[in-house]
Amino acid sequence: MPRQWRFAPHDRAVIAQLVREMSCSPLLAQVLASRGISSGLEGEQFLAARIGDLILPDLLPGAAEAADRIVAAFRAGRRITIYGDYDVDGVTATSLLWHCLKLAGAKVDYYIPSRLEEGYGLNLEAIRTLHAEDPERLVVTVDCGICSVDEAALAKALGLELIITDHHTLAATLPDAAANVHPRLPGTAYPFPELCGAGVAFKVAWAVCQRLGDGTKASPRMKDFLKFAVGLAALGTVADVVPLRGENRILVRYGLKSLQESTQPGLEFLKKIAGYDKQKSLSAEDIAFGLAPRINAAGRLGQARLAVELLTTDNRQRAAQLADYLDQLNKNRQTVERKMFRQAKELVEANPHWEEHPTLVVASEEFHPGVMGIVASRLVERFQKPSVMIALNRDTGLGQGSGRTFSDFDLHSGLHACSHLLEGFGGHRAAAGLRILIDRIDDFRVAFARHATKSRVDVGEMIEPELQIDAEVSLYDLTTQAVRELDQLGPFGAQHRRPIFSTAQVELAEAPGTMGGGDRHLSLKVRQGDKVLRCVAFGKGEWATDIAKENGPLSICFSAGINQFRGYENVELQLHDWKPAGAAVGAQVDVTSAV
- Does the pLDDT value for residue 256 go beyond 50? yes
The pLDDT value recorded for residue 552 is 87
- Does the pLDDT value for residue 589 go beyond 50? no
Q: How is domain 53-328 classified at the CATH fold level?
A: inorganic pyrophosphatase (n-terminal core) (3.90.1640)
Own/partner pairs, 560-564, CB within 8 angstroms, 24+ separation? 560/478, 560/483, 560/486, 560/499, 560/501, 561/483, 561/498, 562/480, 562/483, 562/484, 562/487, 563/534, 564/279, 564/280
The pLDDT value recorded for residue 459 is 44
- Does the pLDDT value for residue 592 go beyond 50? no
Length of the chain: 595
- Positions of CATH 3.90.1640.30 in the chain: 53-328
3-state secondary structure of 76: coil
Predicted structure pTM score: 0.85
Q: How far apart are CA 90 and CA 88, in angstroms?
A: 5
The pLDDT value recorded for residue 562 is 86
The pLDDT value recorded for residue 381 is 86
* Mean pLDDT, rounded, for 14-27: 93
What's the order of all strands across the beta sheet hosting 161-165? 107-111, 79-84, 138-142, 161-165, 179-181
- Positions of CATH 3.10.310.30 in the chain: 351-459
Q: How far apart are CA 244 and CA 195, in angstroms?
A: 10
* Mean pLDDT, rounded, for 517-531: 90
- Does the pLDDT value for residue 222 go beyond 50? yes
Q: How far apart are CA 359 and CA 387, in angstroms?
A: 6
**DSSP result, 169-195:** PP-SS----SEEE-TT-TT---S-TT-
The percentage of the chain sitting over the pLDDT mark of 90, rounded to a whole number, equals 77
- Does the pLDDT value for residue 458 go beyond 70? no
User: Going by CATH, does the domain composed of 351-459 fall within 3.60.70.12?
Assistant: no
* Mean pLDDT, rounded, for 88-102: 97
- Does the pLDDT value for residue 66 go beyond 80? yes
Residue 428 pLDDT class (50, 70, 90 cuts):
confident
Task: Give, for 129, the enclosing helix (H) or strand (E).
Answer: helix 124-133
3-state secondary structure of 206: helix
The pLDDT value recorded for residue 581 is 85
CATH class entry, domain 4-11+470-580: mainly beta
Q: How far apart are CA 379 and CA 420, in angstroms?
A: 25
The pLDDT value recorded for residue 588 is 45
- Does the pLDDT value for residue 464 go beyond 60? no
The answer to whether the Cα torsion of 409, 413, 416, 422 is positive or negative is positive
- Phi, psi values for residue 546, rounded to 5°: -65, -40
Does 491 sit behind a cis peptide bond, omega within 30 degrees of 0 on the bond before it? yes
CA 118 centroid distance within chain: 23
Residue 595 pLDDT class (50, 70, 90 cuts):
very low
- Positions of CATH 2.40.50.460 in the chain: 4-11+470-580
Instruction: Look at 565 and 275; give whichever has higher pLDDT.
Output: 275
Task: Give, for 337, the enclosing helix (H) or strand (E).
Answer: helix 316-350
Residue 461 pLDDT class (50, 70, 90 cuts):
low
- Among 346-355, 460-469, 540-549, the range scoring the smallest mean pLDDT is 460-469
Q: Where are the beta strands (DSSP E) in 414-478?
A: 424-427, 431-437, 466-469, 471-472
Q: How far apart are CA 378 and CA 381, in angstroms?
A: 5
Q: What is the pLDDT of residues 136-183, one digit of tens each?
A: 999 999 999 999 999 999 999 999 999 999 999 898 999 999 999 999
The pLDDT value recorded for residue 121 is 86
